[in-house]
Amino acid sequence: MKIAFVASEVFPYAKTGGLADVAGSLPIELSNLGSEVKVFMPKYNMFGEVEHGLHYQWNIGEIPVRVNGQVHSVHVHTAKLPRSNVEVYFVDCPYFFHRFRVYTNDHDEDERFILFMKGVIEILQRIGWAPDVIHCNDWQTGLLPLLLRENYGWDKMFHRTATVYSIHNIAYQGKFSKATFSKAEIRPEHFVYGGLGEHEGGVNFMKTAILTSDVINTVSQTYAHELLTPEYGEGMESFLHARAQDFYGIINGIDYHVWNPEKDVLLPYQFSSDDLSGKLQNKKFLIEQLGFHYDENIPLIGIISRMVSQKGFDIIGYALNELMQLNAQWVILGSGEHRYEEMFMQIKEKYPYKVYFYRGFNNELSHFIEAASDIFLMPSRFEPCGLNQIYSLKYGTVPVVRKTGGLADTVLDWNEHLAQGQEIGTGYSFHDYTAHALILSVQRALHDFNLKNVWHKIQQNGMNKDYSWRKSAEKYIELYKQAVIKRLG
């Protein structure tokens, strides 16, 4: 099968969150399964072209793409995803993408991604490659299925091309004013009240995608169920209900070439489930670097996250005073909303001997924290899939999570299963989104941390789980087949 995989961020070129990890690894597994895959992303100016082996495509040349009545020149570069033959096509338009950030609050954020979507379609035409499926991801690609069907409906090349749309996060829908539809030159009838593109008087890329893609999915089964409820659906639940026949949940996999403590080159000490001594050495190394007192019996709790309300920082805030009374050390990495950054700056000042906070994005440190910590805290309000808890499992770092979305699907609560006589738990989870429930779960974890045999068992259970892409990529192939059947049927 020929698959065009379209995303606004792809690891290792540009990353703000888990979408980049998915876009940088799922295509490789699809290719291993025999598909021909090409990945498309914007060419931002934050990554090194030489370092990543980008080549300008002279044979494609300059492509004029019109957005908001202006014609922009698009050029194309390509590179291969590391350790693969999967080609990445970079849509190069400096006017829109040389802004030192992946996402902006600029007035033309809609235009940036309209150009991207049109650019992808135009490149496919130029290279004469008609995919069986165009796999779109999140709002930045949400108008592509409609554009393909209508604005490029004249091109017979795409008549058999199906579209799949993955929702990685319903909280970001691509909401703009109604002027956006004319910027994209989409037929105005779609903007009447209740039309494909209209939502609450504006344009909504996510709604358009939900209603116009052949098949839709999200990144865990539980989140797929949650999205059908008003509590989680963020206003999209009725449209998803309308498409329930074509709406699926497939859990993300992870790339064990990048996230594997046995071979992780970003770690001072590698380790495996057979021999965890390297994990302890990482902990000692990190703790001493931070200037904390090292005692292997004091648990180290890690947090790595975008600092947005989705991730549970409100309840962490309410719980913080009590959490600081516990016998634990903390290492926190993240950036985002000012109020949360401020909260951790203050707590670091108040408890400098036991709390470290790094404000910013740091890939190397994220690996180090995963390896060195005993416990990983991820009490999300909602979580479509979540990757960090899956990395934690692999690194013998026991996750404490809220039971929602992908967290519910990947972390098995130790006590809950023990009560049924099963020692299969891999972490701790709680249901209620409250500081109280969070604290109780952290306390349960700290209690078991002192019971070395129990703790070792929980670590082993997690480390032996297999969340590699293979099974999920096979499910995507089935999804693509469904989409093609829908398209041709």
- Contact partner at residue 361 from ligand ADP, ligand GLC, none, CB < 5 to 8 Å by partner kind: ligand ADP
- Residues at the interface with ligand ADP (CB under 6 A): 17-19, 21, 304-306, 333-335, 361-363, 366, 385-388
Residues with Cβ within 8 Å of 45's Cβ and at least 6 positions away in sequence, in order, are 94, 97, 98, 99, 100
Among 15, 77, 168, 402, binds ligand GLC (CB under 6 A): 168
Amino acid at 437: A
DSSP code, position 358: E
Among 24, 299, 386, 425, binds ligand GLC (CB under 6 A): 386
Residue 443 CB neighbours (<10 A): 15
**φ, ψ of residue 133 in degrees (nearest 5):** -140, 135
For the record, the structure tokens of 446 come out as: 């700290």
- Contact partner at residue 30 from ligand GLC, ligand ADP, none, CB < 5 to 8 Å by partner kind: none
For the record, the structure tokens of 4 come out as: 């065009």
Among 3, 28, 121, 387, binds ligand GLC (CB under 6 A): 387
Reference 174, options 381, 8, 385; nearest CA is 8
Helices 435-449 and 313-325, packing angle to 10 deg: 50
Residues with Cβ within 8 Å of 466's Cβ and at least 6 positions away in sequence, in order, are none
Q: Is the dihedral of CA 245, 138, 105, 234 positive or negative?
A: positive
Q: How far is the CB of 356 from ligand ADP (least distance, A)?
A: 13
Reference 343, options 387, 376, 308; nearest CA is 308
Pick the closer one to ligand GLC by CB: 267 or 385.
Answer: 385
**Which part of the chain contacts ligand GLC (CB under 6 A), choosing from 94-102, 112-120, 313-321, 383-391?**
383-391
Pick the closer one to ligand GLC by CB: 334 or 384.
Answer: 384
Q: Is 401 in the site for ligand GLC (CB under 6 A)?
A: no
CB 145 within 8 A of CB 212: yes
Among 169, 217, 397, 461, binds ligand GLC (CB under 6 A): 169
Q: How far is the CB of 359 from ligand ADP (least distance, A)?
A: 8
Give the CB-nearest residue to ligand GLC: 18
Helix/strand/coil for 134? strand
For the record, the structure tokens of 427 come out as: 């972490």
Size of residue set near ligand GLC by CB under 6 A = 14
- Contact partner at residue 333 from ligand ADP, ligand GLC, none, CB < 5 to 8 Å by partner kind: ligand ADP
**Which part of the chain contacts ligand GLC (CB under 6 A), choosing from 11-19, 117-125, 254-262, 430-438?**
11-19
CA–CA dist 426, 405 (Å, integer): 16
Pick the closer one to ligand ADP by CB: 131 or 336.
Answer: 336
Identify the H or E element spanning 400: strand 398-402
Q: Is the peptide bond before 299 cis (omega within 30 degrees of 0)?
A: no
Q: Is 93 in the site for ligand GLC (CB under 6 A)?
A: no
Q: Is 442 in the site for ligand GLC (CB under 6 A)?
A: no
Q: How far is the CB of 403 from ligand ADP (least distance, A)?
A: 16
**Which part of the chain contacts ligand GLC (CB under 6 A), choosing from 53-61, 369-377, 378-386, 392-400?**
378-386
Pick the closer one to ligand ADP by CB: 119 or 386.
Answer: 386
- Contact partner at residue 219 from ligand ADP, ligand GLC, none, CB < 5 to 8 Å by partner kind: ligand GLC
CB 127 within 8 A of CB 99: no
Q: How far is the CB of 226 from ligand ADP (least distance, A)?
A: 15
Alpha helices, DSSP H only, in 33-108? Answer: 94-97
Binding site for ligand GLC (CB under 6 A): 17-19, 22, 168-169, 219, 252, 383-387, 406
